[in-house]
Chain A
Amino acid sequence: MKLQRKRLLSQIILFFSANLGYPGYPGLKTGFCYPFFYCQACPAATSACPLRSLEQSVDKGSFTWRLFLFPLLIIGFLGILTGRAVCAWACPIGLLQRGTGRVARKVKKTPLAKKLGAHKAEKYFRYTKYILLISLVFVTSYLIGFIFTDICPVGFLTGTIPVLLLNPGKFVPNFFFPFAFVIFVLFIILIFIIERGWCRYFCPVGALLGPFNKISFYHISVKTDRCKHCNVCSYNCPMGIDVPNMHRDPECILCGKCVNTCPEELITFEKTGWQ
């Protein structure tokens, strides 16, 4: 089976695995945290959002070490094994962005997108996800009790909307709803105009996983000494990475598109320590 088909199959299976919690069908509600971005408010969710657990661990000046450590260890375990591959192979929001990627790739060909994509500020803009993680998940939760979850677009998509659809007339919007709705609309626009726009710039779970690329067993390796710098790999990279010059880049989600597209077959998956 081709690599990208295997990845699609993995994403679909894990999407259904993440949604086995609907009461009675089969109602599997576990005490684990997802190692990716998904909302426990989804009526069918099987596990907890890792960000929610982290937010609760530092709620308003308190510190609950178990809720702090537990999601980090789950993410760390998978991160050490496979780096940020979870984003490409397991995350349901990654699957959604795979669906919108076709439109985003067309937008990418427009002159304005080319100009903005090549702008030197673009690589700094990727640090936004780390800033979001530190500021809205930890700092504001600790200091004033305002949490990322209150305005989370993924929570809006996978929690709020399904709850409203399954319980018509039972709920009304609260104070945070208008803000979350605006952010959700921007999120939808983003994933249609920039391929993997959420993963690149804003995903706090991606920010947690990214650094593990530096030490993960699985990683992408480029034989740079024989590379002709045709840049086909970089052009096809959904994360917009300069593939020939990357070495264990925290942005790499190990989707394998560069592996598939390299005409010289110089890019491969490596399994450090398992040979």
Chain B
Amino acid sequence: MKRFVAIQICALLLVSGALGGMVAFTPVYDEVRSGIVLVLCLSCLKLEPKTNAEFTFFTADNRTHAKFVLDNLSKGPVFLHYSGDACAGCDVMYPVIKDLFDVEFGKQDMFSTIATFESTPIPYIYVNIHHTTNELRDAQVIYDKDYVGGIPMFTVVTLGYDNGDVKPKYTTLYGTLTTYGCDTDAERLVFLQQLLHQSIEMYEQNKAGYQP
């Protein structure tokens, strides 16, 4: 009996010590909060959001644009790709984006590059919310224009003219793009190509007046 109680106490001390240590000395609490609780996997939710792909000047809750986006915007329209682990929708979109920019990277990598599309440089930033920095992860809510709070999510930030000023203008797409009429990878690719084409046109029209 005494031996059994000793085993129980040892097990409890081991587990509680390990749990306390993990919370105190590793980022697991923040990882779970920001990567699982605050940002949902849309395919796990079994739903696709019905949103439009129109460009807007207004960020979610009028937050200021992310610094890394503004820094890259002087090079060309910025493409943000939010993805995550154990997300079927992210897995569907991952190869489409790789084809779109002809790039190669691991799903859990932190990856960014200056891709080229129609001879225009496109700063492409891939963010796996479960393997990234706080700055990149936190930017997701800035561009979550329809307050979906889910992944996969794609944002294109370009330039637009607004009452005498040239400002960042962006649009955000969600899920596997089925609500935009894309059911196959080829249709998704064409849709994103058209969106990029439109964002490049807007960028070219306004870049002369842009002051970072």
Contacts and interface: CB of A to CB of B under 8 A. Distances in A.
Interface of A: 21, 29-33, 40-41, 45-49, 52-53, 55-56, 59-60, 62, 64, 66-67, 69-70, 73-74, 76-77, 80-81, 141, 145-147, 149-150, 152, 155-156, 159-160, 163-164, 169-177, 180, 215-217, 272-273
> Main secondary structure on chain B at its contact with chain A?
helix
Contact of A29 (B38, B42, B46, B50): B38
Contact of B19 (A21, A74, A160, A177): A74
B174 to A, nearest CB: 10
> Main secondary structure on chain A at its contact with chain B?
mixed
A54 B28 CA distance: 13
Contacts of A175: 43, 88
A215 B19 contact: no
Interface in B81-128: 84-86, 88-89, 91, 107-108
Given A29-B38, A152-B44, 11 more contacts: A31-B33, A56-B85, A56-B86, A59-B86, A62-B85, A67-B31, A170-B50, A171-B47, A172-B178, A175-B88, A215-B7
Nearest to B44: A149
Choose among A49, A60, A73, A152 the residue with the greatest number of B CB atoms under 10 Å from its CB: A73
B68 interface: no
Contact of B31 (A66, A77, A163): A66
25 contacts: A31-B34, A31-B37, A32-B32, A40-B40, A47-B37, A52-B86, A53-B36, A59-B85, A67-B28, A67-B31, A69-B22, A70-B32, A73-B22, A74-B19, A147-B88, A150-B44, A171-B48, A171-B49, A172-B50, A172-B178, A174-B46, A177-B47, A215-B11, A217-B12, A273-B5
